Amino acid sequence: MFGAASTKRDAEESTSADPAPPAAPAAETAAPAPASEVARGAKTVEAKNVDLFYGDFHAVEEVSIKIQPNRVTALIGSSGCGKTTFLRALNRMHELTPGAYVKGEITLDGEDMYGSKVDPVKVRRLVGMVFQAPNPFPTMSIYENVAAGLSLNSRRMKKSDKDAVVERSLRGAHLWEEVKDRLDKPGTGLSGGQQQRLCIARTIAVEPEVLLMDEPCSALDPVATLAVEDLIAELKHRFTIVIVTHNMQQAARASDTTAFFNLERSGDPGRLVEVGPTEEIFTKPKQKATEDYVSGRFG
């Protein structure tokens, strides 16, 4: 199911002299393989006893969770319970905050992404992120925005190959039809929902294995929200998706697995209370705290 391309990648990783996983394979400098998205495998992400700190402040405590490939996992919970902090640890963005650090192990298909020889930049190329407020680069056109991941990673590409990648990514983000005639216009000239889909196109253009989405629809109107959710349902066939959301109905609609984070008291570290198939979490949750949260009994 995950095909030859995946095993080829594994072979390259094991034979490369640098044990640092996951190394960007040499094949990336060549033209991108067409229609490779079916064959590519999305990766499993697993966290084992992960603690997250901001300096002295213990933000998230002892989280262990296995995120299944080609599924949508939703992280829900009240404000400040650490779900965004945890999400950002999954692509090594947490440590960008001065003083922030991670304890524990987070693996991508079994390889620890926080290993001592691992380059965080390479991790971030494999684990992409879409943010809460759409943030297209203002100095770039729509075309350049989508291609930004490629040009910023200095992948030399022929123009025709780049065109193909841009079109494929925009189609993948359900945006191609709307912008194909104005690819050279600035990215900031689109509506909110379109901008967010542009950011999604930009993220999938570099073909990560995992997509992290931090409340991707919270800045969008309901129609745009549903459009993005439909997109997510389609993208999960190509990627592993983790989405943080405040909107419980969205978690219920859009995800296969739901993980509920919670705080005992404010100031305490956030903890993972329960994780399970979405249908179960919303029909017969096991923990009382989960039940109280999803039925809106406490905020």
Partner 1 sequence: MAGVRIEYQEELETLEASTLGGLDLASAALARTMEAVEHQDVELAEMVVADDDRIDGRYLEVHQSLIALLATQSPVATDLRLISALLHILKNIERMGDQCVNICKVIPMSGHEPPADPEMLKLILAMGGQTRTLIAQAKRSFEDRNVEMARDLVRQDDVVDNLNRECFQLALEIGDDADRREWAMTMLLAGRAIERIGDNAVDIGEQVAFIVTGLFREFEDASRPS
Partner 2 sequence: MTPPDAQQTGPAPQAAGGIAPAITGGILPAWGTWAVLAGAAAVAAAALLATGSFTVALMLVLTVPIACAAIYAWSRSVEGPRRAKDRVVTLAIAAAFALAMIPLISLLYEVAKRGIPGLSVEFFTEDSRGKIGGGGAAHAIVGTLVITGVAAAISVPIGIMTAIYMTEYGAGKKLRKALTFFVDVMTGIPSIVAGLFAYALFELFFGPGIRLGVMGSVALAVLMIPIVIRSAEEVLKIVPNHLREAAYALGTPKWKTIVRIVLPTAFAGLVTGVMIAVARIIGETAPLLVTTGVIDSINSDPFNGRMQNLAVYAYSEYRSPGVMKQASYDRAWAAALVLIAIVMILNVVARLVYRRYKTEIR
Q: Could you tell me what percentage of the chain is helix, strand and coil, using 3-state DSSP and rounding each to the nearest 5? A: 40, 25, 40
Degrees, nearest 5: CA angle 226-168-159:
145
Backbone angles phi, psi at 139, to 5 degrees: -85, 0
233: contact with partner 1 by CB under 8 A: yes
**Token pair for residue 287?**
């923990």
- Residue 148's binding partner among partner 2, partner 1, none (Cβ under 5 to 8 angstroms by kind) is partner 2
252: contact with partner 1 by CB under 8 A: yes
Which lies closer to partner 2 via its Cβ, residue 199 or residue 241?
Answer: 199
226: contact with partner 1 by CB under 8 A: yes
7: contact with partner 1 by CB under 8 A: no
Instruction: Please report how many Cα atoms fall inside a 13 Å half-sphere around the Cα of residue 118, on the Cβ side.
Output: 20
Kindly list the strands in the beta sheet with 210-214, ordered across the sheet, starting from the edge strand earlier in the chain.
111-112, 100-108, 45-54, 57-67, 270-277, 257-262, 72-77, 240-244, 210-214, 127-130
Angle between helices 192-205 and 142-152 (to 10 degrees): 30
Q: How far is CA 202 from the centre of its chain?
A: 12
- Residue 97's binding partner among partner 2, partner 1, none (Cβ under 5 to 8 angstroms by kind) is none
**Token pair for residue 111?**
């390889």
- Residue 279's binding partner among partner 1, partner 2, none (Cβ under 5 to 8 angstroms by kind) is partner 1
Supply the minimum distance, in Å, between the C-beta of residue 201 and partner 2: 12
Contacting residues toward partner 2, per CB under 8 A:
91, 93, 96, 98, 121-126, 128-129, 131, 133, 135, 137-139, 148-149, 151-154, 186, 188, 199, 202-203, 206
Determine the length of the chain: 299
253: contact with partner 1 by CB under 8 A: yes
Q: With contacts defined by CB under 8 A, name the span among 72-80, 150-158, 205-213, 228-236 that binds partner 1.
A: 228-236
Residues that bind partner 1 (rule: CB under 8 A) add up to a total of 13
- Residue 202's binding partner among partner 2, partner 1, none (Cβ under 5 to 8 angstroms by kind) is partner 2
- Residue 282's binding partner among partner 2, partner 1, none (Cβ under 5 to 8 angstroms by kind) is partner 1
Supply the minimum distance, in Å, between the C-beta of residue 110 and partner 1: 31
Provide the 10 A C-beta neighbour count for residue 123.
Answer: 24
Supply the minimum distance, in Å, between the C-beta of residue 120 and partner 1: 36
Which lies closer to partner 1 via its Cβ, residue 191 or residue 249?
Answer: 249
84: contact with partner 1 by CB under 8 A: no
Backbone angles phi, psi at 108, to 5 degrees: -115, 110
173: contact with partner 1 by CB under 8 A: no
β-pairing verdict for 127-130 and 210-214:
parallel
State the residues that interact with partner 1 by CB under 8 A.
223, 226-227, 229-230, 233, 249, 252-253, 278-279, 282-283
